[in-house]
């Protein structure tokens, strides 16, 4: 049996915190970050890698450096998109929580009363209960 989807304050808060943790992790790795135990392994994904493999005449090395830069650029583009989407979700959840807390005390509708606001069928794009003459 499928599990019910629960959208309540603890769930929204948990999701907001999850997105914030993702944003914090991205922020950390986009600055100088130690990727290993070597103290010289501090690099930022946002900057070109300091990689030197021979001279300009060593075409294989030059091509490898260009290819690695292309991979880094594509990766940071995806990270940027993820960061933007996670930021929007995180703040959207925060606004939803703030707004629901601000009006929660005003909500006295029963499920039946709420259901009365939901149309069961629509026949035209014009709002209201009286369709125009000739409409269905």
Alpha-carbon gap, residue 30 to 61, rounded angstroms = 26
Alpha-carbon gap, residue 93 to 14, rounded angstroms = 10
pLDDT of residue 108: 66
Mean pLDDT by 10 residues, the chain (136 residues): 76 93 90 81 81 78 88 91 92 87 67 69 46 48
pLDDT of residue 67: 92
Alpha-carbon gap, residue 32 to 25, rounded angstroms = 12
pLDDT of residue 43: 80
Burial 118-134 (b: 16+ CB within 10 A, else e): eeeeeeeeeeeeeeeee
For 84-90, the CB contacts below 8 A with 24+ separation are 86/19, 86/22, 86/23, 86/26, 87/19, 87/23, 89/15, 89/19, 90/16, 90/19, 90/20, 90/23
């Amino acid at each position: 049996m499928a599990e019910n989807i629960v959208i309540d304050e603890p769930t929204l808060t948990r999701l907001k915190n999850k997105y914030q943790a993702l944003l914090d992790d991205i922020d950390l790795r986009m600055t100088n970050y130690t990727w290993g135990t070597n103290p010289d392994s501090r690099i930022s994904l946002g900057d070109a890698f300091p990689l030197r493999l021979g001279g300009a005449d060593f075409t294989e090395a030059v091509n490898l450096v260009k290819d690695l830069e292309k991979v880094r650029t594509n990766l940071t583009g995806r990270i940027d998109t993820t960061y933007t989407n996670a930021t929007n979700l995180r703040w959207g959840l925060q606004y939803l929580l703030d707004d629901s807390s601000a009006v929660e005390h005003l909500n006295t509708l029963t499920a039946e009363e709420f259901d009365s606001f939901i149309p069961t069928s629509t026949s035209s794009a014009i709002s209201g209960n009286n369709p125009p003459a000739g409409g269905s």
